[in-house]
Amino acid sequence: MATSLCLFNLFYNVIGATYVLFLTRELDIPPAGVGLVYGVGSAAFPVGAAAAGWVARRLGVGSAIVWGRA
């Protein structure tokens, strides 16, 4: 289990680094733009986490997962 988690973290971070390089080199998005997208996503995370319980109660757990995926 620990080996699986270590490998997951390793490859997840490799993909994350490759993604940033792809955005800046291939799509010509400036580094400030990439940082802005990551910053907005990080700021929106607590809002989604706070609303998750309410949404699950309102829609049901299965529907909340389906609609959250969209």
The pLDDT-based confidence of 18 (bands split at 50, 70, 90) is: very high
Whether 31 has a pLDDT exceeding 80, the answer reads: yes
What pLDDT shows up at residue 70? 64
* DSSP 8-state class, residue 22: I
Q: Cα separation of 67 and 27, whole Å?
A: 29
- In this prediction, residue 1 carries a pLDDT of 82
The pTM of the whole model exceeds 0.75? no
Q: Which residues contact 29 (CB under 8 A, 6 or more apart)?
A: 23
pLDDT value for 29: 93
- Name 44's Cβ contacts closer than 8 Å, sequence gap at least 6: none
* Chain position carrying tokens 């080996």: 3
Res 14: pLDDT: 95
Q: Where are the alpha helices (DSSP H) in 1-70?
A: 2-21, 31-59, 61-69
